[in-house]
Chains A and B, each alone.
Chain A
């Protein structure tokens, strides 16, 4: 289902929107042996949601979103491993703040450009952050990664366990909060304005919108979310490696979002689920060729479902009618 927001959109939650949460809770009870993978999926959903906000809604193209994810992970990890700060919420807040600062600073520079130049600049930024993390081994552990990360029990009650139960529910709660905020944002006047930016910046200038300032604003919000996702990854893995930075995680994230469907909120839910489960299964069956499987899925989706898996579902099932009728009732 497309979630376009706007002045004619009905912001009420429709029944299909409960499905991800029902599925997540069902997975918690029915698939206890997969909770670690589940937590990883939930983290990447939050990460993909942050990308969808800028790519799908504001039309900001990026290959460098891992800069915020990685920075969030490292900040949470360094706080714990080097400074002894183990409170999970303090770690997350610090991860969010650091990613937000990086977002506003880099966004202020790169968002004056567009298209290919912008794409290259985002890639350059994550590459720079990667190299800093690599060289500052006294702080980050360099190529060996940052170990010794500890996270105190959540609210002083729920300790992170070996089976990933606490991690799963913790990630689910944070994701729920992130989803709620993003959904609220998308249906707000700010969200409507974002779709205007994506559709036609020339017109946005002509209606008096401070386009650049708004782009930097949404880019920063997205960076904060990605930073939180990175912080979660650090807390649940208790380790941060260089693989959270650079082109690869950014590219993977983009693939996940394209698989799920860009600019739909729930594409960010479907993409990571399909990608990470496929990765898990294919890597077990074909350890050397699993990328071939992922690549094949991506090619099929791009060729036959340009709106992603959700776009395909929308085409097959008359879910879009719900939206049309909602719009009609909103008039």
Chain B
């Protein structure tokens, strides 16, 4: 069975700086996979390449077994790839409902329509409200996303991505900047996501990573250092040396 997402010898260089070197990576349907690594390891660039926002220098990206290396970002999204951003990338001046609705409208191919009022598309509004309710954001539907507390903005990030009904979801530091008390809420939400979605999470919060992921890849200076289940990664001496320091995850 073809992997939900796969990269083969993926490379990216910016001049003399290599940020991805021969990355072979596989994500199966339903996987809960974490990508960790120190700052500057190339994690976000890797996600950007997967999405099509950054073109790789060489190598291949396969989505559901199909080569999408040369496919545009919009077409990859239509084929089931969704993402969140490390830094909130919302429609700041729009209500939360519209933030989510824009994505759902794209998925349902309603967005190019010019005649009927947007608000008359009840199916989109209903789907938005249902999705927002599952994330505990139902009461914030009419609030401008810029006016939401930071933690809720992170949830809107996730809501927008989920509105696309992705087969593969790339979460770029979903808990970045969120107080530890709210990290649990994000984890609970991630754990409730449909089991068939393949999820790749990039995160610095090791507690969240080790609680959520069933497999971890460690990226260092653009290369895969090691990949395995959390307990193996926690025991790996190389990981301790380059990333976790000398402390051992409990």
Q: Which residues of A contact B (CB under 8 A)?
A: 4-11, 184-185, 187-193, 195-196, 199-200, 202-211, 214, 217, 327-328, 330-331
Out of A4, A188, A203, A207, name the residue touching B115 (CB < 8 Å): A188
Residues on the B chain within 8 Å of A327, using CB: 95, 142
The reply to whether A192 and B78 form a contact with Cβ atoms under 8 Å apart is no
Contacts of A191 in B (CB 8 A): 114, 118
Do residues B77 and A188 form an inter-chain contact, with CB atoms below 8 A?
A: no
Q: Shortest 8 CB-CB distances between A and B: which pairs?
A: A208-B77, A11-B117, A207-B103, A7-B101, A199-B91, A190-B114, A6-B98, A187-B117
Assess the A203–B90 pair: CB atoms within 8 A: yes
Chain B residue numbers with a CB within 8 Å of A214 are: 112
* Chain A residue at minimal CB-CB distance from B95: A8
Q: In the assembly, what is the distance between CA of A303 and CA of B137, in Å?
A: 37
Q: Report whether A193 and B105 are in contact in the complex, using a CB–CB cutoff of 8 Å.
A: yes
A27 to chain B, nearest CB (A): 31
Chain A's closest residue to B146 (CB) is A199
Taking a contact as CB atoms under 8 Å apart, the answer to whether A188 and B103 are in contact is no
User: Closest approach, in angstroms, between the C-beta of B103 and any C-beta of chain A?
Assistant: 4
Decide if B111 touches A203 in the complex (CB within 8 Å).
no
Q: Are A206 and B51 in contact (CB under 8 A)?
A: yes
Let me know if A7 and B53 touch, CB within 8 A. Answer: no
- Chain B: residues with CB nearer than 8 A to chain A? 51, 53, 72-75, 77-78, 82-83, 85, 89-95, 97-98, 101-103, 105-107, 110-121, 124-125, 128, 141-142, 160-161, 163-164
Q: CB-nearest residue of chain A relative to B160?
A: A207
Tell me if B111 and A206 are in contact (CB < 8 A): no
Give complex CA distance A203, B88 in Å.
10
CA A145 – CA B120 in complex, angstroms? 49
In the bound complex, what is the Cα–Cα distance between A187 and B105 (angstroms)?
A: 14
**Once bound together, how far apart are the Cα atoms of A207 and B83, in whole Å?**
8
Nearest-neighbor residue (CB-CB) of A208 within chain B:
B77
Contact, CB under 8 Å: A189 / B83 = no
Given contacts A6-B95, A8-B141, A204-B102, 18 further A-B contacts (CB under 8 A): A7-B98, A7-B118, A8-B98, A188-B114, A190-B112, A191-B118, A192-B98, A193-B112, A195-B93, A200-B92, A206-B51, A206-B77, A207-B77, A207-B163, A208-B103, A208-B164, A210-B74, A214-B112
How many Å lie between the Cα of A208 and that of B111 in the bound state?
A: 11
Known: A192-B101, A196-B102. A5 touches B118 (CB 8 A): yes
| Number of cross-chain contacts by CB at 8 Å | 142
A188–B116 touching, CB < 8 Å = yes
Per the bound structure, the CA–CA distance linking A290 and B83 in Å amounts to 54
A204 partner residues in chain B, CB cutoff 8 A:
102
Asked if A331 contacts B142 (CB within 8 A), the reply is yes
| Contact among B78, B93, B119 for A199, CB-based, below 8 A | B93
B106 to A184, Cβ gap below 8 A?
A: no
A-chain residues with CB within 8 Å of residue B110 when the two chains form the complex: 189
Partner of B97, one of A7, A207, A217: A7
Closest to A201 in B: B89
Residues of the A chain whose Cβ atoms lie less than 8 Å from the Cβ of B113? 188-190
Contacts of B89 in A (CB 8 A): 200, 202-203, 206
Cβ of A199 and Cβ of B77 under 8 Å apart?
A: no
CB-contact partner of A331 in B75, B90, B141, under 8 A: B141
Beta-carbon contact of A8 and B77 below 8 Å:
no
Q: Which of B72, B103, B119 has the most CB of A within 10 A?
A: B119
Q: How far is the CA of A27 from the CA of B112 in the complex (A)?
A: 38
Residues of A within 8 A of B82 (CB): 206
Tell me, rounded to whole Å, the shortest Cβ–Cβ distance linking A191 to chain B: 7
Please indicate the chain A residues that have their CB under 8 angstroms from the CB of B91 in the complex. Answer: 195-196, 199-200, 203
Q: How far is the CA of A292 from the CA of B34 in the complex (A)?
A: 62
Q: State the CA gap A83–B95 with chains docked (Å).
A: 53
Tell me the complex Cα distance, A86–B121, Å: 44
Instruction: Give bound CA distance, A211 to B95, whole Å.
Output: 21
Name the residue of chain B whose CB is nearest to the CB of A217: B112
CB distance from A265 to the nearest CB of B (A): 15
Report B85 CB to chain A, min CB distance, Å: 7
Contacts of B78 in A (CB 8 A): 208
Q: How far does the Cβ of B86 sit from chain A's closest Cβ, in whole Å? A: 12
The distance from the CB of A104 to the nearest CB of chain B, in whole angstroms, is: 16
Are B102 and A207 in touch, CB under 8 angstroms?
A: yes
Query: Distance (Å) between the CB of A329 and the closest chain B CB?
Result: 10
A5 to B164, CA, bound (A): 21
Q: Which of A11, A209, A217 has the most CB of B within 10 A?
A: A209
**Residue in contact with B164 in the complex, picked from A196, A207, A328, CB distance below 8 Å:** A207
A-B contact pairs, 26 of them (CB 8 A): A6-B119, A8-B101, A8-B141, A9-B118, A185-B114, A188-B113, A188-B116, A188-B117, A189-B110, A189-B111, A189-B112, A189-B113, A189-B118, A191-B114, A192-B102, A192-B105, A195-B91, A196-B102, A199-B93, A203-B90, A206-B82, A206-B89, A208-B77, A208-B107, A210-B74, A327-B142
